[in-house]
Amino acid sequence: MDKQIEKLLNDQVKFEADASMQYLAMASWADENGYNGIADFFYKQSEEERLHMTKLVKFINERSGKVLIPQLDKPKSDYSSINELFEAFLASEMFVTQQVNHVIHECLQHKDYNVHNFMQWYVTEQLEEEATARTLLDKLNIIGSDKSGHYLFDRDINQITAVTPEE
* Interacting residues toward ligand FEO by CB under 6 A: 16, 19, 49, 52, 93, 96, 126, 129
Closest residue to ligand FEO, based on beta-carbon distance: 52
- Which lies closer to ligand FEO via its Cβ, residue 112 or residue 129? 129
CA dihedral in degrees (159, 163, 164, 167; nearest 10)? 180
Q: How far is the CB of 151 from ligand FEO (least distance, A)?
A: 27
Say which DSSP state 112 is in: -
Q: How far is the CB of 152 from ligand FEO (least distance, A)?
A: 26
Q: How far is the CB of 129 from ligand FEO (least distance, A)?
A: 4
CB 61 within 8 A of CB 67: yes
CA distances from 91 to 14, 81, 84, 110, 167 (A): 16, 16, 10, 29, 24
**CA 14/CA 19 separation, integer angstroms:** 8
- Which lies closer to ligand FEO via its Cβ, residue 98 or residue 117? 98
- Which lies closer to ligand FEO via its Cβ, residue 6 or residue 16? 16
The total of other beta-carbon atoms located within 10 Å of residue 38's CB is 24
Q: How far is the CB of 53 from ligand FEO (least distance, A)?
A: 8
- Which lies closer to ligand FEO via its Cβ, residue 34 or residue 98? 98
- Which lies closer to ligand FEO via its Cβ, residue 98 or residue 158? 98
Q: How far is the CB of 160 from ligand FEO (least distance, A)?
A: 18
Sequence letter at residue 29: W
Q: Which residues touch 54 (CB under 8 Å, ≥6 apart)?
A: none
